[in-house]
């Protein structure tokens, strides 16, 4: 006697976290299901411009080019010029790390994306640390006050949280045993993603505050609207691609 139940197999599950690796079931924050999903066998680098990502790339490049051109078009200082150069480079790499991993859906793509994501974040972290070291050395040598601006306070808060986020992600990925095993670690991925998007906002806010510092306005002559436009483009490029299932949100229920 034939069974009345459907014999269709369930969608395959990812080996890296619990959501199904089916493009049509991955709904972005804005748009239709599958709009911001890496297609099977598509080159990984296309993730950097998929969907609205090209807007983020324009914003990231605007922030980077504005900063670097302003620094090199004015008198360089050994203990201050590297700071905006390195921090803007770190921000650019951080944005690429997010964009490359966002659209992945299949287990193979996720594994590759995670390696690239981690590598870009390592480079970003080294850039941020180097930039912080330069400016702190400058303050120490010249006996300048620490944390005298909104930019400074946001920088310290964001840098501390970024380090915690890096350690959290590495722990889930490489040593899941510290969280009670692989299955329990997988359940924590969504919190890592929430933290990542929050930190992107904090990084962008820190950049926005940098445009209001005496050095940016008085020495580099940076126009605040250029930073504002770059930040806005990054936001409207990244957040519409957020996959709700990866955040534990299922609108189909």
> Does residue 3 register a pLDDT over 80?
no
What pLDDT score was predicted for residue 10?
Answer: 41
> Does residue 97 register a pLDDT over 60?
yes
Residue 231 lies in a domain: yes
> Does residue 13 register a pLDDT over 70?
no
Higher pLDDT, 81 or 145: 81
> Does residue 215 register a pLDDT over 90?
yes
Q: How far is Cα 99 from Cα 93, in angstroms, rounded to an integer? A: 10
The predicted-structure confidence for 183-195, as pLDDT tens digits, reads as follows 999 999 999 999 9
Count of residues making up the chain: 253
Q: What is the DSSP letter of 215?
A: I
> Does residue 5 register a pLDDT over 80?
no
Residue 6 lies in a domain: no
Mean of per-residue pLDDT scores for the chain = 87
Residue 17 lies in a domain: no
Residue 3 lies in a domain: no
Asked if 55 contacts 233 with a C-beta cutoff of 8 angstroms, the reply is yes
Residue 90's CATH number: 1.20.120.1770
Residue closest to 88 by CA, chosen among 128, 121, 57, 133:
128
Is the sign of the CA dihedral 102, 184, 245, 204 positive or negative? negative
Residue 190 lies in a domain: yes
Please tell me the total count of domains within the chain: 1
Q: How far is Cα 119 from Cα 143, in angstroms, rounded to an integer? A: 36
Q: What is the DSSP letter of 74?
A: S
Residue 59 lies in a domain: yes
pTM attached to this predicted model:
0.87
State the pLDDT confidence band at 253, using cuts at 50, 70 and 90.
Answer: low
Residue closest to 189 by CA, chosen among 125, 101, 119:
101
H-type alpha helices, the chain: 53-72, 82-101, 107-141, 150-174, 182-186, 189-210, 214, 224-238
Asked if 44 contacts 109 with a C-beta cutoff of 8 angstroms, the reply is yes
Q: Determine the 3-state secondary structure of 113 from DSSP.
A: helix
Distance (Å) of CA 167 to CA 76, 88, 115, 118, 152: 35, 22, 15, 11, 23
The predicted-structure confidence for 21-38, as pLDDT tens digits, reads as follows 444 446 676 666 666 788
Q: Maximum Cα–Cα distance for the chain, whole Å?
A: 87
Q: Determine the 3-state secondary structure of 177 from DSSP.
A: helix
Q: What is the DSSP letter of 13?
A: B
**Side-chain-facing half-sphere of 59: CA atoms under 13 Å:** 28
Q: How far is Cα 44 from Cα 185, in angstroms, rounded to an integer? A: 25
The predicted-structure confidence for 148-186, as pLDDT tens digits, reads as follows 899 999 999 999 999 999 999 999 999 999 999 999 999
What pLDDT score was predicted for residue 146?
Answer: 76
What pLDDT score was predicted for residue 143?
Answer: 79
Q: How far is Cα 47 from Cα 37, in angstroms, rounded to an integer? A: 8
Q: Count CB-CB contacts under 10 A for residue 22.
A: 17
> Does residue 60 register a pLDDT over 60?
yes
State the pLDDT confidence band at 251, using cuts at 50, 70 and 90.
Answer: low
What pLDDT score was predicted for residue 26?
Answer: 63
Cα 207 vs. chain centroid, distance in angstroms? 14
The predicted-structure confidence for 102-137, as pLDDT tens digits, reads as follows 999 899 999 999 999 999 999 999 999 999 999 999
Q: Which domain holds residue 189?
A: 29-247
Higher pLDDT, 67 or 42: 67
Residue 94 lies in a domain: yes
């Amino acid at each position: 006697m034939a069974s009345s139940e459907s014999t269709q197999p369930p969608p395959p599950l990812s080996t890296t976290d619990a959501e199904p690796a089916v493009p049509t079931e991955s709904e972005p924050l804005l748009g239709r299901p599958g709009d911001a999903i890496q297609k099977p066998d598509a080159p990984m680098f296309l993730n950097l411009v998929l969907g609205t990502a090209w807007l983020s790339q324009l914003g990231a490049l605007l922030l980077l080019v504005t900063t670097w051109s302003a620094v090199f078009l004015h008198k360089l200082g050994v203990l201050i010029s590297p700071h905006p150069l390195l921090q803007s480079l770190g921000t650019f790499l951080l944005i690429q790390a997010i964009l490359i991993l966002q659209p992945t859906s299949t287990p193979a793509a996720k594994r590759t994306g995670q390696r690239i994501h981690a590598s870009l974040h390592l480079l970003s972290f080294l850039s941020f640390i180097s930039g912080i070291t330069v400016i702190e050395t400058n303050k120490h040598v010249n006996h300048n006050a620490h944390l005298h601006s909104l930019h400074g306070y946001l920088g310290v808060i964001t840098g501390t949280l970024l380090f915690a986020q890096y350690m959290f992600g590495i722990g889930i990925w490489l040593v899941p045993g510290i969280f009670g095993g692989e299955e329990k670690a997988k359940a924590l991925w969504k919190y890592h993603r929430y933290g990542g998007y929050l930190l992107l906002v904090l990084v962008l806010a820190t950049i926005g505050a940098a445009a209001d510092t005496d050095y940016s306005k008085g020495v580099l002559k940076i126009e605040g609207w250029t930073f504002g436009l770059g930040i806005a483009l990054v936001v409207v490029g990244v957040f519409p691609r957020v996959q709700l299932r990866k955040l534990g949100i299922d609108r189909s229920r």
